[in-house]
Structure 1
Amino acid sequence: MVPEAQFSSYYGRPILKKPVWAPLDIAGYLYLGGLSGASSLLAAGGHVTGRPALARSAKLAAAGGISLSLVALVHDLGRPVRFLNMLRVFKPTSPMNLGSWLLAGYVPLTMAAAASDVAGRYRLVGSAATGAAALLGPAVTTYTAVLISDTAVPSWHEGHRELPFVFAGSGATAAAGLALAAAPVAQTGPARRLALLGAALELGAFQLMKRRMGLMAEPYEEGGPRALLRSAEILAAGGAALAAFAGRRRSRPLAAVAGAALLTGSAALRFGVFHAGVASAEDPKYTVVPQRERLRAPTD
């Protein structure tokens, strides 16, 4: 009897090449993009409901977050022209190409909205830019989940159904956290509600994703990713609860602590997901075992 072959490599080489993206650049890009997109929604809400301080802080968060996100992306690409080259074509089947076009349209809108608010001029233009940025905000928050799910990295690809919802919740908690830390407590009602909704969506979708993934969920439950993701869960739940309590007490220090917890928890989730994906690409088990299971599965 020949023993079953052990899978550790393919002729001394990994079966999959792990992502070559720099962790700080790309995980930061995932985080800041989510913060920015959700902040645009919060800015529009503050603008419409007559909460100027909330609207201004969210507009600045959207513009600053997406600017830093682009800096991280271009730094990882190495040269700015590589980003511009992605705009030479329009390819609906490519999440990366669509994301590039999305950012090209979204960035100027956030800049116009923030500049108009700070300068106190061109209010009609600023209002239009705020509304248009809010329309693109959900796509900016979630498209990075589609981007990484559209790869061969096992623990990213297998979570393609729920990961956009996880990122949507994470972006909402980050935007709410920044608004809680920056705006007066009296104007943060929408941010507190967004924190509760975002935390529920993030935690619920992430647990559902792990249950459905089976073996592919292991990288999320081991080593460094596990520590990051457990911290994210605690900070998201605790920050949302503290935000609600701070609103009832009208406590500025409590709101600031809640905001810091939500911001940190959102970052921990994005970094945890990134590192879990890298770990799944490095271990051949997560490539070979599912293939064998599919071959053994009965066919109709």
Structure 2
Amino acid sequence: MGTSGNTEANIKSGALTQVADATGNWVDTHAPLWSRPYLRLARFDRPIGSWLLLLPCWWSAALAAALAGDVSRLPLILALFLVGAFVMRGAGCTWNDITDRDLDAKVERTRSRPIPAGQVGVPQALAFLVAQALIGLAVLLQFNRFAIAAGIASLAIVTVYPFMKRITWWPQVVLGLAFSWGALMGFAVILGRIGLPALFLYAGSIAWVIGYDTVYAHQDTEDDALIGVKSTARLFGAQTHRALILFYSLAVILIGAALALSGVGISAWIGLSAFAAHLGWQVARLRIDDPALCLRVFKSNRDAGLLLFAGLLADALVERI
């Protein structure tokens, strides 16, 4: 069997301490050995996706609190969104790995994930999925009935997303619908309604997700072409920079419309300007033929989102109260 056979045995036994597209982290170095495959299923070794799911939640909570003129519940709501985003992203990734286990086994970057590597069976993964979903439900039940219904409605999009890459060149749109749902949730929780500012914020977040996930998908274009997986990265190809300018510009314009409708102050506009500048830096920096750089640029979207959140939070705390 040689070296490749030993590597395969190590993966299946759990001796391999990292998934191929992860870097050294607490899961790989400190988590109990028995828990590592499950933590990797939930992507706790790669929390960037949880941050990207969380940030639209935080944007909407800060903006809705400013509209309500009441930030007394904001710290608790932000904390609940933090927990909810991490566990529900974990549940979504577990579902994605269950449905994509055969495709993951054919892609160099994903074949070391727990299910195709044989570290976790599908029944165990399903049980872990249910456990995470129950924690997410416990968080959701802390909110009002309208917010609970809105949160449950998002599950339909999450359920169908893994299949979209098989049938459309635009799976990033469906990911955007799912990952941007938090842009509605802050309004649902704090105001008990979803109005035009929430819808514009949601639309802007969707455009942002399409952009950054196109960058992410450029890591796998060669493998995706071989196995027939579709993505906007393959669709745009050499025109990716132009597409990013379009979608990132849409994100800034639509989010700006949400801010204008909300009557925000200078702090929020500074946050949006910093967000826009960061997106421009991404487009200038990106080289789609460099997978490592694509991953770094993709991950930098956490910082872009935090810049916008800082502006919205400052507006809620300083300019409205």
- After TM superposition, the score normalised by the length of structure 1 is 0.48
- After TM superposition, the score normalised by the length of structure 2 is 0.45
Which gives a bigger RCO, structure 1 or 2 (Cα 8 Å, sep 6+)? Answer: 1
For the pair shown, the structure with the greater C-alpha radius of gyration is 1
